[in-house]
A = this chain, B = another copy of it.
Amino acid sequence: MLVHTIKEVRDIVNSWKKQGLTVGLVPTMGALHNGHKSLFEKSAKKCDKTVISVFVNPIQFCPGEDFEKYPRTLDADCKIAESAGVDLVFAPNPKEMYPNVQMMTSDFLTYVNPPFFYVNKLCGKSRVGHFDGVCTVVNKLLNIVQPNFAFFGEKDYQQLVILKKMVNDLNISVEIIGCPLVREESGLAISSRNKYLSESEKQDALALSKILFNIKNCFQKGVTDIAALKETAYEFLNEHHTLEYLDFRDAETLEDKNIADENTRVFIALKVGSVRLIDNISLK
């Protein structure tokens, strides 16, 4: 079932709750792929009812980013959702989420701002304000749907950590469930932004997963020195690549690691031509 208004979502979810059913929420920006599908299936398995939102959230895009051209494919999205056991698709228009679409800055809108410590690193460094927009819209969606569980992919790992922190700090009655990222057979992490890649760029994009797999391999062979592990990345980079970061951080707190260990997660952001891609891996 597809609805567009907050009132419809609330009415439907309330009727479920009165029956004592549990509800899972998967917030998305649409352009659904197998990564999203794995989240839907996880929710459908764990919860009696699954709601997904499809909303390209304007306030999480920074100036110069791809808000306008971000792929919008609602018909196809609904088919994927249905095939994965989703009960309700909530696809609001921007006015439904931000009634005053001319006034979406922090001058005129209440924002939920995650802590600076979690934001001033990895993607937060280049995408200024991004996680404020993410926390604000997810907070709104949690208030609208009031799910028992909400599912997020580990593809956006920093986002997952920040949202868990938000739920904890603000005592929100929901359990956030992180789900493993999904890769194509080639190793490329599935992302809606992969649609921007040409065939040759797709080949170049394999550098991200190759670098991460190789680092994990070296770590498992006993290398724990982070400088040495970083060094191994360069053999996979060519003139089409611009490396934004390659960071080794604690998987819980995102603190910088001095030495790689089993609690370390490795994060990479890389531009292939003009397309910015991210990936990450646990060393466990």
A interface residues, Cβ below 8 angstroms from B: 6, 10, 106-117, 135-136, 139-140, 143-144, 146, 165-166, 169-173
Contact = CB atoms under 8 A, between A and B. Distances in A.
A6 B115 contact: no
Interface centre among A107, A135, A146 (most CB of B within 10 A): A107
B110 A106 contact: no
Given A107-B116, A110-B166, 8 more contacts: A6-B171, A108-B115, A110-B115, A110-B165, A111-B112, A112-B113, A140-B169, A143-B173
Nearest to A120: B107
Nearest to A18: B20
A143 B170 contact: yes
How many copies, total? 2
A157 to B, nearest CB: 18
A170 B106 contact: no
Nearest to A110: B169
13 contacts: A106-B113, A107-B117, A108-B115, A110-B113, A110-B115, A110-B169, A110-B170, A111-B115, A136-B170, A140-B169, A140-B171, A144-B171, A146-B173
A173 B143 CA distance: 7
Contacts of A109: 115, 169
Contacts of A108: 115-117
A101 to B, nearest CB: 13
A105 to B, nearest CB: 8
Interface centre among A117, A140, A169 (most CB of B within 10 A): A169
A143 B115 contact: no
A173 B17 CA distance: 15
Nearest to A165: B110
A165 B140 CA distance: 13
A7 to B, nearest CB: 11
